[in-house]
Chains A and B, each alone.
Chain A
Amino acid sequence: MINASGLIKNFGYRRAVDDVSFEAQKGAVVGILGPNGAGKTTTIRMVAGFLVPDAGTVWVKGIDVAADPVAAQKHIGYMPETTPLYEDMTVSGFLRFLAEVRGFSGAERQRRVDEVIERCFLQPVRNQSIDTLSKGYRQRTCFAQTLLHDPDILLLDEPTEGLDPNQKQVVRDMIREMSKEKVIMLSTHVLEEVEAICTRAIIISAGKVVADDQPSVLKTRSTRYNAVTLDVEGEGIPAILETFPNIGKIQTLSTDGNRSRLFLLPKLGKPIAADVLETAREKRWKLFDLKVDEGRLDDVFRRITTTEDIREAE
């Protein structure tokens, strides 16, 4: 439903987005990650039809967004990063205005407004003036606005930023629940969120896409992928483990007589847990605990985005 190819956007001499391409189909929850200033917001703004790319095209349901933003935007609900709101209006007045702009009137308009107020838990503030809202409620009001016309595509720029833990969970649940019928694109700095709700993660660094895959696959690029944490009792364990060809590094976390907690880092993410288990059984070690690491997204993120910076500097 979203198809972007070769997007480029310059601000003066600075290239904010440099040849970004991606596509997303119904059911996808695409997380856009990247360091500050990487170009996430600029990319989303081009999809939303707020900025026109200097080169490249975004198609939304087959509509060229730059050529016909009005038609494309009918399928899009967009929440800008800064959660802009008309300060002088009340929450319900603001939502009524947007529902009107979205083409609803009369009872239908009221029904839509009431519905999003309920879904986004805005009842306590529905008649409050927006300039007195707390940050979280501002966030939710701006999120509510995206749902008024039940669009096929949701573009959410840092949707859970500033929400309390309960509300973060509510928003994540809503996103997951809605994702079946929609394409949802969100940017975030919270990596656990990506693991929790995204079916795809696109990492952008210095305007370029540096990774685009399922979060679980991306995690295998972590150095900690398949690492084993072991709580074990037996004779001369570290010496034996050192002979394993696939174990790169052994770290002793704590020792207590013959019992020790060890952290085993594999070479190139190779699986080692099976070998360790087998040896433990053979040598009759007493095994208290064994954990296999799935890899960590923050680790991958750091590696990808910082090496990218180094390459850039050279």
Chain B
Amino acid sequence: MNENLHHITAVAKREWRAYFDSPVAYVFIIIFLMLSGFFTFSIARFFETGQADLTGFFQWHPWLYMILVPAVAMRLWAEERRSGTIELLFTVSVTPLQALLGKFIAAWLFMILALILTFPVVLTAVYLGSPDLGMVASGYLGSALLAGAYVAAGMFTSALTRNQVISFILAVVIGLFLILAGYPPVTDLLAQHAPGWLVDGVASFSFMPHFEALQRGVIDLRDLTYFASVIVFMLFSTQVVLKNKVGR
């Protein structure tokens, strides 16, 4: 048990440092902050709506993550396989599960750091009015869970291939599906052609209803369970892929 933890933190620390030793971390954080600011203030017209809630801020996150998280996650395994370091990692008593947990934690914490750095948006809202801080907190929780689900999906596609471009595209497609399956314009369209139970069934796979519930300040165990299961499922699939590819 102790050794598990030791290996997981060693891998996570290495991965975390790898983000900050290269320009990736800084470029990513700056782009993320700029885009989320742009969407919030220009597109959602945060100032003009006169409401001091953060819907206009959070509603863009699924789309931002869809593009940006795969960029962070694509190298997690693809690079390891391309450069052959996976052979080193898996011959020094580190198990695939330990390694993938370490990598997942590093990438997720990195996303959470980027998310925390959006705090000026909250300060602006507080300055403009009095937002429901409970709602803000639950919105952030939802966004962090959403980021975790994207990271897990991106890590899965990263394990599938040694090509980072393919990994990126696959992750975007998975993200797009998980958004669109429950996106009202799409579900409305589907509802005209398909029975309601099918539409609901597909929609229940989607991030959107769960994410929206959290944005409204409703912390429901079912939504938390949903995100947890997506993450666990993706991590499990990653482990299966790794075990097959590596040959054990």
Q: Which residues of A contact B (CB under 8 A)?
A: 45, 48-52, 66, 69-71, 73-74, 76, 78, 80, 82, 84-89, 93, 97-98, 100-103, 142, 145
Contact = CB atoms under 8 A, between A and B. Distances in A.
A97 B10 contact: yes
Contacts of B17: 89, 93
Given A51-B247, A86-B85, A73 B10 contact: no
A97 B21 CA distance: 15
26 contacts: A45-B87, A48-B91, A49-B91, A50-B247, A52-B247, A52-B248, A66-B248, A73-B93, A80-B88, A82-B84, A84-B83, A84-B87, A85-B83, A85-B88, A86-B85, A87-B83, A88-B18, A89-B18, A93-B17, A97-B10, A97-B14, A101-B92, A101-B94, A102-B92, A142-B88, A145-B88
Interface of B: 3, 6-7, 10-11, 13-14, 17-18, 21-22, 83-88, 90-95, 246-248
B90 A88 contact: no
Contacts of B22: 88
Contacts of A48: 91
A98 B7 CA distance: 10
B10 A50 contact: no
A66 B247 CA distance: 10
Contact of B7 (A52, A80, A82, A101): A101
Interface of B is mostly: helix
A101 B84 contact: no
A3 to B, nearest CB: 19
A125 B196 CA distance: 66
Nearest to B10: A100
Contacts of A73: 91-93
A275 to B, nearest CB: 55
A145 B209 CA distance: 49
Given A82-B84, A101-B7, A50 B14 contact: no
B87 A102 contact: no
A103 B98 CA distance: 14
